[in-house]
Every structure is written in C-alpha cells, then in structure tokens.
Amino acid sequence: MLEILFRSRAVDILLALCEKSMSVRELISKVGGSATTVEQRLRELKEAGLIEEDVSKGFPFRRELRLTERGKEVAKNLQILRSFFIDELPLKRMIWPLLTLYVVGEIRGKTKLQKLVFLLDKELNIIKDQGYNFVPYKYGPFSKELIEDVEMLILTGLVKTEEEVKEFNGEEVTIVVYKLTDRGKNIARKAYNELTDEEKRRINKLKEFNARSARSLTAYVHSKYPEYVAK
C-alpha cells in the first residue's frame, strides 16, 4: 500500500480529500495534473482501500469521492509528517538529492537520479560527509538509501513526481520525472547559497550530465567507474 503514495498526485489526492469530499472534476482542479493521471491514481487508491466513491443515480451523473477510515488515518499521518519537516530535513544527507534537483531543474527516471547524485560525490567532490553508500549494480552505481530518502522527501512534500508515458521497443514505458516543490526549492536554495564559488562552479556541471540521455549517462559512468558495474 505504501508504494502507491510515491506515485504522481497520490499524496495530493489524499490530502485534498482530507479537507472534504469532492467530485472528480473538483479534485482534478484542486491537485492539478492530467485527468488520465488522476483517474489512474484514483483506481489505485480505491484498490488500496484508501478512498471510496458514490455515483449519483440521476442525471447529471456525479462521482463523489471521499476517504475511507483507513484513508483518513494515512492522510492524518502525512499531515503530521509534513508538519515536522517544514524547514528542515529528516536526515542531513537528503540535501544532496535536493541540491541536485535544484541545479538541474528536473530529472527523468530513477537511473539518472542515481547517476547524478553519484557524480555529485565521486566526480564533482561536493559531498563531504553524510553521503550515500553506492554499490555495484548491472546499471552502474546504486544506492538503496538514496531511493528511500527520495521517497521520504516525496512524503514530506519537498519533492514531487510527474509521469511521462513513452513508447520503447513497441511497448509503453512510464518514466518518473522528479521535481522540487516550492518548499523543497527553499531548502535547497539556502544550501546552494552556502556553497563556495568553486563548489557552485563544479555543481553546475550536473546540468551537462543531465542533458545527456539516460543511456549516454550510464555509458559514461560505466566507462569511468567500471568498479561500480556488477560482473
């Protein structure tokens, strides 16, 4: 059930319905995003037992959405979690993915996210302490802690995700796009302004890496850091 909360608009939907029940149209207007994405999240949240809906029998037909008791409990816990971390981070190391996103604007896909934070450490030498443990993986360096931290940043409202559907080898593939929320930008901006001019010069090289395709970036990391490729 927890996995659904990391998907685009899921938390926004729960928090919106925590305020009051509303129609699908009202909800889309409230949380933003495409109607397709919101409808997909609604199906998943219903399957998880977090929301339910009533459909009016007469014309005009109206779908009224509301939280289940379980959904209310989850939404309440999310509100408490966000109230604790308005201007600070649960862990100091979480500033690194925030800074990475602040510099590049957005990151398409988990593979790029892993590679960019890895390069922030190993190539640009920005991370001095409280970093991530990267291990060899078939796609190059991988950090489980980084994925877990980004998921926490989503729950605390500092990072948001969008979804892009693209065709790859004749099949539709969903790509997660990571972005900072306004609160996330505020925290990252403070950290960025504390960097030296030399550190700012180096960290801005992330823009060049992010401009590469995921395949090109992976190839670069594989060639320069072969010890992080699983045999």
Mean pLDDT for the stretch of residues 62-66: 90
The tokens of 189 are what?
Answer: 């901006």
User: With b meaning 16 or more CB within 10 Å and e meaning fewer, what string describes 177-204?
Assistant: ebebeebbbebbeeebeeeeeeeeebbe
pLDDT confidence band for 58 (50 / 70 / 90): low
- 111 and 223, same domain (yes or no): yes
- According to the model, what pLDDT value does residue 89 have? 87
Count Cβ atoms within 10 A of the Cβ of residue 121 and give its class: 0-12 exposed, 13-18 middle, 19 or more buried. Answer: middle
CATH number at residue 17: 1.10.10.10
* Domain harbouring 102, CATH code: 1.10.10
Examine the domain organization and report whether 79 and 133 are in the same domain: no
Do residues 77 and 179 both lie within one domain? no
Beta strands across the sheet bearing 63-67? 22-23, 63-67, 51-55
Asked whether the predicted pLDDT for residue 132 surpasses 70, the reply is: yes
**Rounded CA separation 159/99 (Å):** 11
The pLDDT of residue 199 is: 95
CB atoms within 10 A of CB 160: 21
Domains of the chain: total: 2
Q: How does DSSP assign the chain, residue by residue?
A: -GGGGGSTTHHHHHHHHHH--EEHHHHHHHH-S-HHHHHHHHHHHHHTTSEEEEE-SSSSP-EEEEE-HHHHHHHHHHHHHHHH-SSS-SSGGGHHHHHHHHHHSEEESHHHHHHHHHHHHHTT----SS----B-BTTS-B-HHHHHHHHHHHHTTSEEEEEEEEEETTEEEEEEEEEE-HHHHHHHHHHHHTS-HHHHHHHTTHHHHHHS-HHHHHHHHHHH-GGGB--
pLDDT level of residue 170 (50, 70, 90 thresholds):
confident
Range of the domain at 44: 2-84
The pLDDT score that the predictor gives to residue 1 is: 62
Across the chain, what does the average pLDDT equal? 92
Final residue belonging to a domain, choices 53, 84, 115: 84
Q: pTM value? A: 0.90
Same domain flag for 172 and 153: yes
180 and 73, same structural domain?
no
Q: Residue 21: is its pLDDT beyond 70?
A: yes
Residue 165 pLDDT > 90, yes or no?
no
For residue 231, pLDDT beyond 90? no
Counting every residue, how long is the chain? 231
Q: Is the same domain home to 72 and 119? A: no
Give the Cα separation of 75 and 179 in Å (integer): 22
Query: Do 110 and 57 share a structural domain?
Result: no
